[in-house]
Amino acid sequence: MARRRRREAKVIRRVIPKIFTCPKCGIQAVSVIEDKASGIVRVVCGNCGLATNLEYVKNMENVDYFNRFVDKYHSGELS
């Protein structure tokens, strides 16, 4: 008699998103555009137009720039 073959468990790896949710309108339409040559990162919502320019930092990911964008919005610097 042969043994039953055990099913392998799939490893689900989470990936960092490329498009984020806007803190103002609540729609998933915020994108982060990096321009390394000029040293500016532009974070903009495609729906309501809320946008800001941030300084490019070498080791930061798009999520980090989005978090700074949200912090600026909640502190009242953006409207």
In three state form, how does the secondary structure of the chain look?
CCCCCCCCCCCCCCCCCCEEECCCCCCEEEEEEEECCCCEEEEEECCCCCEEEEECCCCCCHHHHHHHHHHHHHHCCCC
Specify the pTM.
Answer: 0.81
Judge contact between 12 and 19, C-beta under 8 A.
no
Topology (CATH) of 27-75: N-terminal domain of TfIIb (2.20.25)
Return per-residue pLDDT of the chain as tens, 79 residues.
678 888 899 999 999 899 999 999 999 999 999 998 999 999 999 999 999 999 999 999 999 999 999 999 999 998 7
pLDDT of 4: 83
Closest CA to 70 of 28, 21, 35: 21
